[in-house]
Structure 1
Amino acid sequence: MRVLAAMSGGVDSAVAAARAVDAGHDVVGVHLALSRAGGTLRTGSRGCCTIEDAMDARRASDLLGIPFYVWDFSERFREDVIEDFVSEYRAGRTPNPCMRCNEKIKFAALLERALELGFDAVCTGHYATLVHGADGLELHRASDAAKDQSYVLGVLTAEQLAHTYFPLGSTPSKALVRAEAEARGLTVAQKPDSHDICFIPDGDTRGWLADKVGTSTGDVVDRDGTVVGTHEGAHAFTVGQRRGLSLGVPAADGKPRFVLEVRPISNTVVVGPKAALAIAQISGDRYSWAGAAPQDREFRCHVQIRAHSDPEPAAAVWDAASDALVVTPDRPLDGVAPGQTAVLYSGTRVLGQFTIDRTVSAVPAGV
């Protein structure tokens, strides 16, 4: 099999490429240049796809004896990930750029080019497994629950899954991957994992957004519309946030208040008690299935709304009239924000995902 190994410059993708070589595949390494800022350098575990990462990927490829290329996807990344991130915040939603990157870059743009060049599959260092089920290929959780990345891969379609290769999915722990890298002589064996948003390496999302969107003074209001403070830009707030609220009027019960809603049109932030963050129902019409779609319009599942949150048992309805997915968890979800991604599971299998457009509070206003 001809395999294009996406090499980020980290330990996971390097070991994944090595295992693809060991399996006898014809492997070519490629590093994606996602920024045209040539002087960009990694700061510890912040940032990715930097000059340092490209050099680490090249060294790993040289050691494995495979061809290596750097492909410039910076324009596509800017349009599909960064601009989407900004527009979602402008609309008062909380996006997940890692989901968009997997969907639009690694398993759309990269896979499309790979297939055009005659490759059979794209290999990555993601921790997830592929299983041949009765209805076709299925995406499942990884063996290592702590490193499982099936959530951020929930955007993959059946056609994309047919051309993906995840060599690390059955590895019991990340420690074993690092030990293997050390034994292979890979210099990235102890390289820190990347975290936070890769295109905001200093971690200051609020400052970054202020530079892109600008600042504009608005009101912070309670659930009944009473003004309790001001802010310098609604885009800087997300549902569930507690810190950074400049409230001049204390709550009647003296307890902390949290962001419940962001209204970009009126530049208003709505706050209230923690109990009001409980969400009884979520829905969205931007959905996809990771393999065969459920046979029934109503089905039981587990829903996960963050990469590292616990999946919650739920009832799902595939509403044909509105062409939307409506999910009612058995117990309320905490702090759900429009723009987040809900991934649906059946056991370890990923059924599909949708972007949350609408939420229904478990605690009506005035209660």
Structure 2
Amino acid sequence: MANSYLVEPDVGFINEVSRLGGADVKKCYQCATCAVACPISPDTKPFPRKEMIATSWGLKDRLIGNGDVWLCHNCGDCSTLCPRGAQPGDVLAAVRAATVIEYATPKAVAKMVSDPKKLPILLAIPAAIFLIVGLLLKMVGVDWLNFAPTGDHLWQADYIGNYLVDIIMIPTFFGAVAVFALGLKRFLTDMHANAIKEGKTNKDKIDPAGFIQALIKTVPTIMKHQKFNECTDNRDRSTAHMMVLFSFIGLFIVTNCFFAAEWIFHIEGPYRQINPVKWLGNISGIALVIGGILLLKNRLAKKDQISSYWDWYLVGLVLALGATGMLTEMLRLGGMYGLSAIVYFLHLIFVWSLFAYTPFSKLAHIVYRTTAMAYQEYSDRK
């Protein structure tokens, strides 16, 4: 006899998914074209048909913690072939956004990040932090914030000291890591419970060593964007995604190199243009801008694809980070030191936002999707 299941629709969840870009879910009549069309869906319990059914019924418990939601790369094959225009790819993207909000701590911040009306407040927070901390330190004789420095060849650290930046950015970064850790602990537990319940794995519990091995095995697939390249309708998206991903990796390496130079070896900037680390930074910065432009182009070109604020926030942040970073350097090299400092201040606001709001934004998919793909590998699901 089949197991009974009491359907308890969560209307609030349906409305949340609709707000985040999945409003077309009610057009679905469960024909399973999407599950057949998807080139990366597994043979056992394929997606996204079952997720479309669960979403239309508001079955939040079957979606939050469902790893299949993250295996979808929204390549668009299913949405293109859907006879009703239900946009399964966009619906699953909206469910992913709702999942990020659900696992975020505090949840109120995640709701703010998904609300365009709250963007001015979110950007004002880092601006206020830098000014308040800088002025408080100035009152006790620590001059790391200077509105009118003197000299012939100034650079941004003469206005906003690197040590001021570091004492703010480092706690912010590790705070974001802690938020991710709390969310991932719950997510992994729920994902395993969901897999057992739906018969997607025969493993009773997660072996940490085995999971780490699966994670290591999954990393090359992610770095090469192999799943993107298995898609047919929207394969060119992989170029923009890879440019942005490797740009962030390059800039992370550059940041850590210059952090070590400053704090360990006490070598202060600005650094010469022939410095190989500077070369990596410039190349990564240019690639980030180009990647951001390609993301924007791809979004605008897809007239039939729903783009919510959740999507535009990430595209805007990528472009803002790249543009302000490169413009800061160009203005300084051009001798416009004051203007360079203003743009640098804007750049710091965006960098802080990148660190602080990533666990609450679409960019969190880097962590959640990686975890879901690693679990897929670990579970031996076919």
TM-score, normalised with respect to structure 1: 0.25
Structure having the higher strand fraction is: 1
Ranked by relative contact order (alpha carbons within 8 Å, sequence separation 6 or more), the top structure is 2
Which is greater in Rg?
2
TM-score, normalised with respect to structure 2: 0.24
